[in-house]
Amino acid sequence: MNETIQSILNRRSIREFKEEQINDEDLNIILECGRYAPSGMNRQSYAFVAIQNEEMMHELVNECMQITGRDGSPFYGAPTVILVFGDVNSNTYIKDASTAIENMHIAATALNLGACWINCVDDLFNSKKGEKLREEIEIPNNYKCVGSLALGYIKGDYPEAKPRKENIVKIIK
């Protein structure tokens, strides 16, 4: 089977990561795959911020824990988080940013890394603390956080695919 298709079919949301940081080469490949995601009229209305700084990661985890009310890290201990923003001046920014997240997710799978799409960050960036963080990471106000990707080396066994729903595909000829 084609390697790209195999990566798509093997992709899983990983929720347990090793502490070891991913290497720069893999991070750059994943970000480049995000940059090559399809976008409405090729506007490329997305922007990415990869966080590996421990202090900033700690702040991000704590703020998201407060927002979600969770006891544990919403990023499952991943050493890298990629924040994905979309330019609200584009009417397709949510779709554009979402396809970028998916491209990065598949790229991580192809590189034998774990990834999980995390949504609590969009709530964070709608708060006062999120405004402060937005300034800190230098993201313009016209960019809205759409989601994020937790990345790292997989800890434990790779999860099996859950059964797919039946009767959700129709082909009309």
Q: How confident is the model at residue 30 (pLDDT cuts 50, 70, 90)?
A: very high
104-158 pLDDT per residue, tens:
999 999 999 999 999 999 889 988 888 889 999 999 999 999 999 999 999 999 9
Q: Indicate if the pLDDT at residue 46 is higher than 90.
A: yes
> H helices then E strands: how many in the chain?
6, 4
Q: Could you say which DSSP state residue 31 is in?
A: H
Give 3-state DSSP helix, strand, coil % of the chain, rounded to 5. Answer: 40, 20, 40
Residue 149 contacts by C-beta under 8 Å, 6 or more apart in sequence? 81, 82, 84, 101, 104, 105, 108, 115, 116, 117, 118
pTM tops 0.75, yes or no: yes
Using DSSP's 3-state secondary structure scheme, residue 23 falls into: coil
CATH (residue range 3-152): 3.40.109.10
User: What are the beta bridge partners of residue 115?
Assistant: 13, 151
Q: Which residue has the higher pLDDT, 107 or 1?
A: 107
